[in-house]
Amino acid sequence: MAHIIITSGPTRQYLDPVRYLTNSSSGRMGSCLAQSALDLGHKVTVVSGPVQIDYPRDATVIDVITTQQMLSATQELFASADGLIGAAAPCDYMPMQIAEHKLAKTGNGLQLSLVETPDIVATLGSLKRLNQWIVGFALETEDIRFRAIVKMTRKCCDMIVSNSAEAMNAESNSVEIILRGGTTIEQVEGPKKVVADAILKQIQAHLIEKYS
């Protein structure tokens, strides 16, 4: 049995106490991956941003809001885990400052200054031990396979799942599963649970069995 950490859902980056940046990630792919990992007998901890969906009852769920919170919770858990699946869509940018009070309208518009948030998968990729593995996701609209492979290398992932832009907030997904080295090992399309089962089957064969 492996202990698998799954990041899931969007994050939020606040501009002021009531307004925030986010995206439309639903957490459905993360939830299906959690169920598929549980079905194979693994221990699962999900680190999730704010979502409307439910996670499997047998998974431990840690709720976070921001990308920085998702990073610190995931980093702490990953220290004693076997692998990480980065299925979240964390906000890549955050406002340079968070206003203490609600920003009032002035009639002059508002210019936001944004800075990049930390990359969770890349940070943990640079810290992972020899027997730990990381699976990233890539959502590209052009040069899909090439960009996914570049991303896998840059973030030190052992496997990357390249999925279509239509997957966001949808019931189904169409993915290509690529191993470190660049070999596509499976292409699968269908409901997210079917896709999640295929991803976990490949993780089991190529990562869990290899490292255990």
Does residue 121 belong to the site contacting ligand C5P (CB under 6 A)?
A: yes
- Structural tokens at position 147: 């960009």
DSSP 87-122: --B--SEEESS--SSPPPP-SS-----EEEPP-HHH
Position 196, amino acid: A
Report residue 91: phi and psi, to 5°. -60, 135
Is 108 catalytic? The answer is no
CB 121 within 8 A of CB 155: yes
Quote the CA–CA distance of 142 and 129 in Å, as a whole number: 33
d(CA 188, CA 174): 6
Among 21, 32, 59, 120, binds ligand C5P (CB under 6 A): 120
Each residue 140-159 as x (binds ligand C5P by CB under 6 A) or -, in order, gives -----------x--------
Task: Provide the 8-state DSSP code for 167.
Answer: G
28's CB contacts (< 8 A; 6+ apart) are: 53, 169, 170, 171, 192
**Residue of 132, 133, 137, 195 interacting with ligand C5P (CB under 6 A):** 137
Output 83 or 86, the one with its CB closest to ligand C5P: 86
Which position among 26, 117, 163, 204 is part of the footprint of ligand C5P (CB under 6 A)?
117
Q: Which backbone phi and psi does 46 adopt, to 5 degrees? A: -105, 130
As measured in angstroms, the least distance from the Cβ of 67 to ligand C5P is: 5
CB of 151 to ligand C5P, least distance (A): 6
**Stretch near ligand C5P under the rule CB under 6 A, chosen from 22-30, 104-112, 114-122, 176-184:** 114-122
Residues binding ligand C5P: number (CB under 6 A): 15
Q: In whole angstroms, give the CA distance from residue 49 to residue 84.
A: 16
Q: Which stretch binds ligand C5P (CB under 6 A): 35-43, 86-94, 170-178, 181-189?
A: 86-94
48 is a site residue for ligand C5P (CB under 6 A) = no
- Our finding on whether 138 is near ligand C5P (CB under 6 A) is yes
Positions marked active-site: 23
The residue ranges that bind ligand C5P (CB under 6 A) are 7, 67, 86, 88, 90, 92, 117, 119-121, 136-139, 151
